[in-house]
Structure 1
Amino acid sequence: MKKTTLIFAALFAASFAMAQNTATTTQTGNGNGAATTQNGSGNNSTVSQTGNNHEATVGQSGTNNQSSLVIKSGSGSEVVVDQSGASNNAIFEGVGSVSGLQVQTGERNSAIAGTSQDFGNGSIIQQVQIGNDNSATAQRGTQNTNIEVYQTQVGNNNIAQANRLRGFNTLEVTQTQIGNDNQAYVNKQGEGSGQIYPSTVLQSQLGDRNFANLNRASGEGSIGGETYSQIQIGDDNQSRILSARPTLLASTYQEGDFNTARINQNDDLNSASISQEGDFNNGTIFQSGDSNFASMIQKGDLNLGTIDQTGGGNVANMMQMGNSNMATITQGN
């Protein structure tokens, strides 16, 4: 009887340990506020505030969610983390008057902001994930102020990365994914080391298995300019923008399935846009030189278009209406 009692006691102790939530809050400075609410089991929350007048709110509901919120210095930050579901992971690091929002509803989602270098004054980082197995990452470059990142994922297995973001003047990145298995990258991890300078970047994906990538055209330099835009509506579309600094415009629009668009800008003050409506269209614009303008419109299926500009001040317009058309424009001076 005594042996049986000891076994039940051990099992009870083990189950209690497994069900326990853990919350740790550390504050150094004046006027800081932090509130953590946990419902469920196995949740873990860490809040660390150094400086003055910081505000942090963490809510965890479900099982085995992990949250780490670290404000390293300065004053006036406001960060909210809300996790509902199971095995979600949220990490946020900042300084000064940074504003943050991380919302996770579902299972095994990952939201990471600023782990390699923290975001600073005037920066706004919002990561919202609804579904399962989504991943959102935001990392800054050498300047941490006035960076705005808005990442929204509704669905499953989506990936959004915004890396090596250089602020000071306002840099705004918006990545929206509604569907499953979509991928959107700004300076994809493992591809080069250049930063993106103040610009407006929009990547929007509605559908499944779409791929959008914005990166440096060549070498290890930076990119930046006025506007970068990649919009995908449908399934299995691919868009790549490889740019330089400064750029006026690089834009792709895809509505349909299995379309491929590529813009490659190697020099300054170029403008390029590709619009595709239909299926299996392929459009490419190469710009080497300064102040070139290129526009391509494809409406239909199985169209193939290429614009190649070398030198400066070239203007090219291509429109393909129908199916299975092929066209090439080559300009040099």
Structure 2
Amino acid sequence: MFTRKPLIASILLALSFNAAAENSVDQRQTGNNNQVFAEQADGDNNQIVQSQEGDLLTSTVIQSGDANLAETVQLGQDHNALIDQDGVGNRSSVYQEGSAHNATITQVGNDNQSDVWQEGLSGAISYQEGVGNSHMIEQTSWGNTANVSSVGAENSTMVTQMGAGDMTSEQTGNGNVLSVLQDTLYYGGIADVVQAGNSNNADIHQHSATRYNTGLVQLKQQGNSNTAQLSQSGGDNLIDFLQNGNGNDVVVNQRGRGVSVTGVSIGDSNSVDVTQGSELNTVDVNQNGSENQITVMQEAYSSLSASQIGDGNQIAVTQGEAMSFSELSATVMQVGTNNIATVIQQ
């Protein structure tokens, strides 16, 4: 949760006292057809603060070079904000409150950080490339969309959405950490995540109080330590994952009727742990190569299909109980090396 005063404001204040070659812009407007633009190029301790208060509101900030900071706070009606930053100290923040919202932040190079916090109809895109990368996007009700991307070094992304909940994120290279919380009011909740290379970690949670939620998590992790913690509550949710190479570890917890997990693990330590509550749930998992391990717990009227090809191959399945009238199904295929399969149906 963001504090209701963007963090950048305090940094801007601190820097304003000791800037050696001080670029600075501070613009404030209250009322009606507002537009504000600012551009700083080539140099030194850049700072921009733009604040607007009512009606059609637009703000654009472009910075290039050195200690860049930018803040834009817009409060009522149509909203639009773009921040573009280029090199060295990069920081950004956009806070927009009532109605239409739109925010785009692009950062290239060095200590990148970006904050977007929007309330209402939402929409946000943040792109970062190089070194310190971090995103925080918080959107509160209704048709939330966040498109987040990081390329290179200590990537971190945190997205919190309440409302329709829809986000995509692609992280390429190095520290990759991703945390997503979607709390949907009725239908939906889509998280589409790609992590490629190095210490990948994805923590994705979707929650709905409705029985027919149709939430979707799509996760693709390629290379190195790949870990994922995925949870969904509400009915008809789907998780689909692909892990390719190295640590590959997935833990899934689904609560609700008619939920499904499909996934593939290829190469190295491959571990999949799935817990599904309620009924009419399905799991379909395939592992190919290395120390393959699958653990599944399902309640009534559930089905499992699992295959393991090559190396450690272990499968442990428990199905049944909790208001059970049975109707359980388990299909297991193991090919090659230390195969162990245990299936308990009750």
Q: Which of the five TM-score ranges fits, normalised by the shorter chain?
A: 0.3 to 0.5
TM-score normalized by the length of structure 2: 0.42
Counting strand residues as a fraction of each chain, which structure ranks higher? 1
